[in-house]
């Protein structure tokens, strides 16, 4: 007999996070390491746990997160979305609070591609009159 588990996926920029929530004491692991050791910045850890703080479930679940792609900030954002979606699976009544807090909206901003004839996506090369 297995215990209840809630799974969800979150994305941000080029990062993808697969989140698994198990009933437990509130420990969080990212790619097999403790969250503080992996993210290394309190601000990123805060981004990751915001949905848990809002719904007051910080010490209800042990969370295992598997992330790929992007940087640490994108991975933290992806994990936050994944946690919010998994919390909704756990209790659909949390949807209103999570939606109001903006945790269920996928941040669709991606890096714009470089165009030919330009230095970047929009930046032009320096103009020389002579």
Q: In the chain, how many domains are there?
A: 1
List Cβ neighbours of 116 (8 Å cut-off, separation of 6 or more): none
CATH number at residue 54: 3.30.230.10
Q: Is residue 129 assigned to a domain? A: no
Q: Is residue 58 assigned to a domain? A: yes
Domain encompassing residue 56: 6-101
Q: Is residue 120 assigned to a domain? A: no
Per-residue pLDDT of the chain (130 residues; tens, 9 = 90+): 457 899 999 999 999 999 999 999 999 999 999 999 999 999 999 999 999 999 999 999 999 999 999 999 999 999 999 999 999 999 999 999 999 999 999 999 999 999 999 999 999 999 999 8
Q: Is residue 111 assigned to a domain? A: no
Say what the pTM is.
0.90
pLDDT number for residue 1: 44
Q: Which of 62, 61, 85, 63 minimizes the C-alpha distance to 12? A: 85
Q: Is residue 127 assigned to a domain? A: no
């Amino acid at each position: 007999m297995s215990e209840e588990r809630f799974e969800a996926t979150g994305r941000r920029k080029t990062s993808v996070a697969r989140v698994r929530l198990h009933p437990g004491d509130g420990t969080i692991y990212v790619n097999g390491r403790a969250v503080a050791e992996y993210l290394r910045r309190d601000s990123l850890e805060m981004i990751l746990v915001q949905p848990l703080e809002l719904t007051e479930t910080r010490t209800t679940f042990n969370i295992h997160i598997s992330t790929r792609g992007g940087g640490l900030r994108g991975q933290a954002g992806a994990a936050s979305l994944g946690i919010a979606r998994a919390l909704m699976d756990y209790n659909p009544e949390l949807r209103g609070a999570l939606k109001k807090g903006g945790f269920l909206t996928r941040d669709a901003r991606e890096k714009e591609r470089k165009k030919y004839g330009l230095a970047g996506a929009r930046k032009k090369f320096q103009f020389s009159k002579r």
